[in-house]
Amino acid sequence: MGDPLKIALYHNLPSGGALRVLSEYVRLRRQEHDFELFVPASASDFFGIGGSIPTHRIGMPSGTGLLADYKKLRSAPRFGREAAKRIDAGGFDAVLATASFLTQAPEVLPYLKTPSLYFCPEPLRGVYEKEREPLPLAPKAAAKRTIRAAYDRRRARFDRRAIRAADAVTVNSKYTQRNVRNVYGVGSSVVRHGVDAKAFRPGRKAKPPFVLSVGALHPLKGHQFVIEALGLLDPAIRPRLVVVGDRGDYGPALKNLARQRGVRLTIRKGVSDTELRKLYREAAVFAAAQVREPFGLITLEAMASGTPVVAVKEGGLAETVRDGKNGLQVPRDPQRFAAAVERVLTDPRLAKRLAIAGRRDAEKRWQWEGAAEDFDRLLRKVAQ
């Protein structure tokens, strides 16, 4: 156990897997450690947990759009210094920081005197992975990509400086660990991830069946691949596709592709945690086709919900889905992905076996207590 720690938490994110990880750590350790949260005024709290710990909102230029983001980026050093000054004055043993939508490695890291642990969910992929757009974007979106080039160069410079300023770095998977080493030349430790198997639990499947895909409306989340695969199925068994994703401007392109491929598509935005858990339970198949996904909490959430998972075999997904055991995993090939989905839809015995095994795996191998133990160990180390 060890002595209690006084920990400052920092992030600059709206929502997503990185905040899920930190929120679960706070949930499990808030009776043991003394936490305080430091965030920009526009950032999210930790999935409702932030309201139960002291939270410090720090002013930052407001507004949306590329010009507003550029103004925020230019103010990042000033903002980072102010946040670091407030944290350093608090007498904390350590800072646990995760990413910033603005700079990736957070603004505060280069200016902290307090020992820091940076939970890096992924490198700055928009800069270091030049993925060609798999679908034509609307002219406005395409122009936006071009204009962002100078903005991204500035982000990359700050990101590299900030991650190297952290006293220690932790990541979500062995795959991300290799990427962080290759991109930044920085070593890191893997923190085990988990799923709340009490919140995500099995239930009745919807009739008629549907396939669920979860992630931002962005090419790297692979929704377009799922549409391509489902379009190859016989119309007599082709299921509806439900995509849950808030951020991104890829929705119109996905809808256009779905019309071309004869796939009934529903895009859900602003979905609450309660409704998301319901969708996980009701889906016949969970499709995970993210492009080189760093980890993918979504597969664990689907497995805990008793929903068979069909995933591409790449990135961190290869560390959670074991082909034929707790799900089906195939190379990034639409024909083979479609065949795997069809197997689950047409073979009730297979679907039941994968659902039971996935649920058992989530309960036994992927518990948040492991992540809490890893964070405790690393934070005590940097505090010393």
Is the per-residue pLDDT at 184 higher than 60?
yes
Which segments of the chain belong to CATH 3.40.50.2000? Answer: 6-194+367-383, 210-365
Helix, strand, coil percentages, rounded to 5, for the chain: 45, 15, 40
Architecture of the domain defined by 210-365: 3-Layer(aba) Sandwich (3.40)
pLDDT at 147: 66
Q: How far apart are CA 67 and CA 135, in angstroms?
A: 25
CA–CA dist 296, 16 (Å, integer): 11
CATH architecture of 6-194+367-383: 3-Layer(aba) Sandwich (3.40)
Do 39 and 55 touch, CB atoms closer than 8 A? yes
CB 342 within 8 A of CB 233: yes
Residue 115: cis peptide before it, omega within 30 degrees of 0: no
Residue 142 pLDDT > 70: no
- pLDDT for the residue 15: 73
Q: What is the DSSP letter of 306?
A: T
**pLDDT grade for 338, boundaries at 50, 70 and 90:** very high
| pLDDT digits 0-9 by tens, 228-265 | 999 999 999 999 999 999 888 899 999 999 999 999 99
